Each structure stands twice: as C-alpha cells, then as structure tokens.
A and B are shown apart, each in its own frame.
Chain A
Amino acid sequence: MKNNVPAFLLSRPSYEPRNFDKGRLKTSFIEKGIHHAAQIIQTGYVNWETASKDDFFQGIDARVKVIFLLFYIIIVSLKNDLISEVLIGVFVFILSIVASLNIFSFYKRVIFFSFIFGFLAAAPSALNIITKGHIILPLFHLSSAHHLWIYQIPQEIGLTKEGIYGVSMLTLRCMNSLSISLFVLNTTTFPDIIKALKAMLVTDAFLMVITLSYKYIFIFAKIVEDMHLAKKSRLVGQMSAVDGRRWAAGRIAFMFKKTTLRCEEIMKAMLSRGFSDNIKIYGARKLCLKDWTSGAILLLIGMIFLYI
C-alpha cells in the first residue's frame, strides 16, 4: 500500500535510557513525551489516510460499518468457544485484505495490544493455582501443599488444559474485538462515524463535544510535542528529577490555560458563524444498493457466527 504520510511522522524519536545516578535522571521522560505525542498524531494521519482511500469498504456507508462494529463486537463477547473466535478472526482478516489495508501494520498493532491486554494479563490464570484442572505442563513441584489464609497452593504447580483454553479464549476475544474496531476505523473517517452515531440517535450535543475534542486533541498533541522538543533542544546532559517534575507540572498547567483560552476563542468563532443553543449535525446520505447488499451480507454472516 502506498503511504503518503510524511516520513518524519512515521519515524520514531531516539530513545535515551534512564540513569538513576545520585537523584539525577537523564531526559527519558521528555523522549517518552515526544514519542507519545508523535504516536497520537501519526495514528490520526494513518487512519485518516486509509479511511479516505477509494476502495470497496471505504465506499460503504458509515452507518452500515458502525452497526457491523457493534453487532460483531457483541458476537465476539458472547461466543465462548475457540472455533467460533478463530473463524471470526479469519473473517476479519479476509475483510482487511478486501479493504486493501496494510496487513502488516494493521496486525502489528492488533497483535501488540492483544498480547499485552489479552495474553499477558490472562497468562497467570493458566496455572492450576487459578484454574483447576488437568495439568498438561508441570512447572514446579513443592514438598507439600500449602494453605495461606484463603489461598491454596497445590504441591504440583503447572499449566492446566482448562487454563490454557481460557487464556486462548481471552486473547482471541481481545484480538477479534480490536481487529474489528481498527478495521472500521481504518475504513471510515471520523466525521462519518459521528454522522453514523447521529443516525443512531446519540444526542447532537454529545457528538459535538466528541468532535471538537477529537480535533483539539490533535492540535494540542502537536503543541505538547513541540514543547517537549523545545525542552530537549535546550538541555545539555542531565536535569534533576525535581526540575523535571516542575517542568512537567508547569507545562500541563500551561496546556490547561491554553485550552481554556482556546475555548473562549472557539465560542466567539461559533457565535460569529450563527451558532445558537440549537445544535445540529447534518445527517448522512441516503443508503444505496451497495450499502444494503453489504449490510445484509455482513448481517447474515454475523447470524451464522452467532448460531454456530
């Protein structure tokens, strides 16, 4: 997939290791701040770029995709067997190929989050201390079983078949939910998602808050990145942890002041453009045959997943 995102947005800043030498620290927290801000801006650009392409899924009405998202995420949360979860995963993989997404970067993100939130968080439950069952991989053998208050530690500690099944289920569920939501996000622009939510009777006031907030997160993320870069460029060597804390607190307070000032400017701009208490977000276009057909197919496949 051709990428039009400028290279400077995709390159990661250099990462400096921390040094705890005598209460002084290197500036890794500044690097982390730059990285965090850059990542948010990059995510926004990449999503916008893939969602704006002229491909099959990008052309489907956002309402169909938002209903698809909610329906399939509920299916994923209701299914309790590995085969169904694997089949849903394969289906989303096929959809992402059809949608011409960059499979490598798409699944890199999905697998990274699923590994942390799905696998790592659930992994200890595979042990027979948490999930009782048939041990298929013994890890430790204690001299005797122990009883500590309400906790029981068996003589043999190992991974159980039931535990591994549970961890696999959670990891797959997490992976499927993430891939479905990222798939919709990569094929639908944010304003279209908002219009689709309006069609689902979410109040205009709430949608307007979300829309404005979303836009200003990117603007302020750039300001945060610039502040960190400015600090980094003025630093030679190390700074004390106390100075680091003061600097970060001062910058957050500065951001607060800036957001409140911007709020007044926006209010004036909105009033000058005729904004009144009656908030109106214009609805989406009429659904065409392509939308109805793809919606019906996705619904049918979803029903099959639900009943297998």
Chain B
Amino acid sequence: MHIPDGYLSPQTYVPLYLVSFVFWSTALKKMKKNLSIKHIPYLAMASAFSFLIMMFNIPIPGGTTGHAVGSGIIAILLGPWTAVIAVSVSLIIQAIVFGDGGITAIGANCFNMAVVMPFISYWVFNIVRGRSLDAKRLSISAFLSGYIGLTLAALITGVEFGIQPLIATGVDGRALYSPYPMSVALPAMVFEHMLFFGVIEGIVTFLLFKYFAKHEYDMIYALSKREANK
C-alpha cells in the first residue's frame, strides 16, 4: 500500500498533498477543541501505537502470518479524526526515517491510509453495528470495517496508479510514471486486497476489537461516543 517515489506524477502528488493538508488542519482543529493541551502527547502516543501495530505479525487461518495497517482499529478505538493525525504521523516517520513509502508520495499515502481508510472503517463499523451491542454483530462489524476500509483504500490507490498513463505521457505516448493502465492497476490492487490483505486487516481489527470489548470496553471511542449520543 505504501506508494514509493517515482510512481506518481506531480499532477497527482501535489493535489493529494493539498487534500491531505486540509484533513490534517481540520483534524488538528477538532483535536484542539475537544482535548485542549492534552492533545499533543495523546496524538504522539496514538501515532506511536499506529506504528507499533504494524510490528506484530499475527498468525492467520491457512498457516501464514501477516500484519495490518491498523487505521481501521485506530479509528474505532480513538475516533476517525484522531486516526487521521496518528496514522499520518506514523506514515511520515516511516517515509522519512525508514524509507518505507516515498517522500513525494507522502500526501497520497496519507490520503489513502490515514484519511480514506479510517473514515470508511469507522462508517462501516457504525452502519453494520447499528444500535446493537450483540457481541456477534459487533465482531462482524469490526471485521468488515477493517476489510472494507483497506479494500477501498486499495481501490483509491489503484485509481491513482491507473490514471498515470492517461495524465502523464511523453511525446511518443509512453507512460512517464506508473506504467499500468486502469484496466490492470485497479483489478490488481482491488483483488489482492479483497482476497488476501483485506482479510488479514479484517482479522486483526476483529481480534483487537474483541479483546478491547472484553477487557477495556470504555476505551472504545466508537462505542462510547454512540452511547453518549443516545
């Protein structure tokens, strides 16, 4: 999911930087309003946690192991706006310090994994869950939130790759950046995430949610927020 440098044209990465910037500013404003000065260490800890989730390899059915992006579970635990900042900071550190994801692609990566994914996951969780507190329905909601969140983020990434041969070509018609047309980039990104990575994300989101629902129910933002609104 981490887009490296060189795959996106300036026509794509510049607008995505701007879109991400709008979300960062809005998220910081919202945080400041709700959490006062406590938001600084809180966001830093949330970012560190977002980074740490990726360090846990989890055995999944079928005998293999995988790790999650974690944006879905962070949105459920801390709220989507906190997830925007937490996952973005984690992605920025990954790109600058560990070379994971490109520097020109920071805006695109943040938009895909720190904006699209947390919001979709959070909405899916709330829509599937409804007002129910039934353990089975909550577990299904958690799985689907991770699964659908990641798959849709992959779809957006596929579109970003797929438009490159249309918007950035040389005089001879040759693609200057990502060479894969939409007909290849979109199915490749969507199917691999639908069949494999999305399932891992769903399982990790479900496992973590199940653990928190059992032991730390009050810490789940998506549940406490809805309860407070009732």
Nearest CB to that of B42 among chain A residues?
A263
Nearest CB to that of A36 among chain B residues?
B55
Tell me if A252 and B103 are in contact (CB < 8 A). Answer: no
Q: Smallest Cβ distance from A187 to chain B, in angstroms?
A: 14
A209–B47 alpha-carbon span in the complex (Å): 8
Tell me if A205 and B40 are in contact (CB < 8 A). Answer: yes
Interface centre among B55, B98, B180 (most CB of A within 10 A): B55
Q: What residues of B have a CB within 8 angstroms of the CB of A246 in the complex?
A: 207
A174–B103 alpha-carbon span in the complex (Å): 11
Tell me if B37 and A32 are in contact (CB < 8 A). Answer: no
Interface status of A52 (Cβ within 8 A of chain B): no
Contact size range, B: 35 or more
Contact with A along B172-204 (1 / 0, CB 8 A): 001111111101100000000000000000011
Interface status of A229 (Cβ within 8 A of chain B): no
Q: Smallest Cβ distance from B70 to chain A, in angstroms?
A: 9
Interface size on A, residues (CB 8 A): 87
A246–B48 alpha-carbon span in the complex (Å): 22
Nearest CB to that of B13 among chain A residues?
A77
B6 is contacted by which of A32, A174, A205, A257 (Cβ under 8 Å)?
A174
- With contact pairs A32-B65, A206-B24, A212-B40 given, residues A248 and B96 touching in the complex (Cβ less than 8 Å): no
Q: What residues of A have a CB within 8 angstroms of the CB of B51 in the complex?
A: 213, 217
Tell me if B93 and A214 are in contact (CB < 8 A). Answer: yes
Tell me if B4 and A29 are in contact (CB < 8 A). Answer: no
Interface centre among B57, B59, B215 (most CB of A within 10 A): B59
Nearest CB to that of A37 among chain B residues?
B55
Interface SS majority for chain B: helix
A266–B57 alpha-carbon span in the complex (Å): 29
- With contact pairs A37-B55, A44-B97, A216-B48 given, residues A263 and B5 touching in the complex (Cβ less than 8 Å): no
Contact with B along A200-211 (1 / 0, CB 8 A): 000101101111
Q: Which of B84-92, B112-120, B147-155 contacts A (4 or more CB under 8 A)?
A: B84-92
Interface status of B49 (Cβ within 8 A of chain A): yes
Nearest CB to that of A211 among chain B residues?
B44
Interface status of A130 (Cβ within 8 A of chain B): yes
Tell me if B45 and A77 are in contact (CB < 8 A). Answer: no
Q: Which of A7-15, A178-186, A298-306 contacts B (4 or more CB under 8 A)?
A: A178-186
Tell me if B5 and A173 are in contact (CB < 8 A). Answer: yes
Q: Smallest Cβ distance from A23 to chain B, in angstroms?
A: 8
- With contact pairs A36-B57, A178-B99 given, residues A77 and B89 touching in the complex (Cβ less than 8 Å): no
Q: What residues of A have a CB within 8 angstroms of the CB of B32 in the complex?
A: 205
Tell me if B40 and A252 are in contact (CB < 8 A). Answer: no
Tell me if B52 and A212 are in contact (CB < 8 A). Answer: no
Tell me if B41 and A266 are in contact (CB < 8 A). Answer: yes
Interface status of A101 (Cβ within 8 A of chain B): no
Q: Smallest Cβ distance from A288 to chain B, in angstroms?
A: 25
- With contact pairs A131-B179, A221-B55 given, residues A212 and B41 touching in the complex (Cβ less than 8 Å): yes
A232–B208 alpha-carbon span in the complex (Å): 21
Tell me if B37 and A213 are in contact (CB < 8 A). Answer: no
Interface status of A33 (Cβ within 8 A of chain B): yes
Q: What residues of B have a CB within 8 angstroms of the CB of A244 in the complex?
A: 58-59
Tell me the residues in window 259-282 of chain A with beta carbons closer than 8 Å to chain B beta carbons: 259-260, 262-263, 266-267, 270, 275-277, 279
A166 is contacted by which of B46, B47, B175 (Cβ under 8 Å)?
B175
Pick the 10 closest A-B CB pairs, nearest first: A173-B6, A212-B44, A177-B5, A20-B63, A125-B179, A213-B47, A249-B207, A117-B4, A244-B59, A263-B45
Q: List 15 A-B contacts (CB under 8 A).
A: A29-B65, A70-B103, A121-B7, A178-B4, A181-B96, A206-B28, A209-B85, A241-B61, A252-B56, A253-B215, A255-B49, A266-B44, A266-B45, A267-B42, A270-B41
Task: Identify 4 new A-B residue pairs, CB closer than 8 A, beyond the known A151-B183, A209-B85.
Answer: A205-B28, A213-B45, A214-B93, A256-B49
